[in-house]
Chains A and B, each alone.
Chain A
Amino acid sequence: QVQLQESGPGLVKPSQTLSLTCTVSGASIRSGDYYWTWIRQPPEKGLESIGYIDYSGSTYYTPSLNSRVTISVDTSKNQFSLRLSSVTAADTAVYYCATWGSREAFDFWGQGTMVTVSS
């Protein structure tokens, strides 16, 4: 059973960079079994896929966020990370890390971490 845990600051100032890390247990990021993904959910709103990275470092970012997003992987720590630059209040959301596996679905999810953008 894959387990995921998000970590990072809960408050970020406007125009700064949001940085989150997802620690993976129960699977190796090197295994190639999953795409490692980030998804967010603004308060009282629906889900939005942010992007993903695979074990080789290949990435995909949703077009609306492409210019501000970077997803990276640290195989030595079995972690992957999200950086979102130039944040505004519209980036306030619960951020989830999740796996995309052979079922072609988001199989496993972290519990989510709330990030508020405010001065």
Chain B
Amino acid sequence: QSVLTQPPSASGTPGQRVTISCSGSSSNIGSNTVNWYQQLPGTAPKLLIYSNNLRPSGVPDRFSGSKSGASASLAISGLQSEDEADYYCAAWDDSLNGVVFGGGTKLTVL
């Protein structure tokens, strides 16, 4: 069972906007920044969003992140077929003194 809670699945049609939630606690999301990773089928995860809402160079601005209290969200606008992937949230946990992940959300583009 993962420390951070994500919905197991999400879906949308091309062009739509979808959001993926990530719920934690005061010891992780509530007191530290949230990162999001995208894992395309058969590949290693890739950093998508860091520090709650910042994008590494090369990540399209269709991807955005936000955080409020002990929860965070990833939004994908203008959904494309190549966005079909697993998405993971992560944050440092002060109680465990390490990084904790969400269980992942499988995004399907219909």
B104 in contact with A112 (CB, 8 Å): no
Nearest-CB residue, chain B, relative to A49: B99
A106 in contact with B98 (CB, 8 Å): no
Q: Per-position contact with B for A91-105: 1 when CB-CB < 8 Å, else 0?
A: 000001000100111
Within A51-86, the residues touching B (CB, 8 Å) are 51, 60, 62-63
Chain B residues with CB under 8 Å of A104's CB are: 32-33, 35, 50-51, 92
Residue contacts A-B, CB under 8 angstroms, 8 given: A47-B90, A49-B98, A62-B96, A105-B47, A105-B50, A107-B47, A107-B56, A109-B46
Partner-A contacts on B (CB < 8 A): 2, 32-33, 35, 37, 43-47, 50-51, 54, 56, 88, 90, 92, 96-104
What 3 A-B pairs have minimum CB-CB distances, sorted nearest first?
A105-B50, A105-B35, A109-B44
> Residue A26 at the B interface, CB < 8 A?
no
Partner-B contacts on A (CB < 8 A): 46-49, 51, 60, 62-63, 96, 100, 103-107, 109-112
Nearest-CB residue, chain B, relative to A35: B99
Nearest-CB residue, chain A, relative to B92: A104
Q: Would you give the shortest CB distance from A74 to chain B, in whole angstroms?
A: 23
Q: Would you give the shortest CB distance from B86 to chain A, in whole angstroms?
A: 8
Chain A residues with CB under 8 Å of B99's CB are: 49, 100, 106
Chain B residues with CB under 8 Å of A62's CB are: 96, 98
- Which residue of B51, B97, B101 is within 8 Å of A103 (Cβ)? B51
A46 in contact with B44 (CB, 8 Å): no
A49 in contact with B35 (CB, 8 Å): no
Query: In the assembly, what is the distance between CA of A62 and CA of B102, in Å?
Result: 15
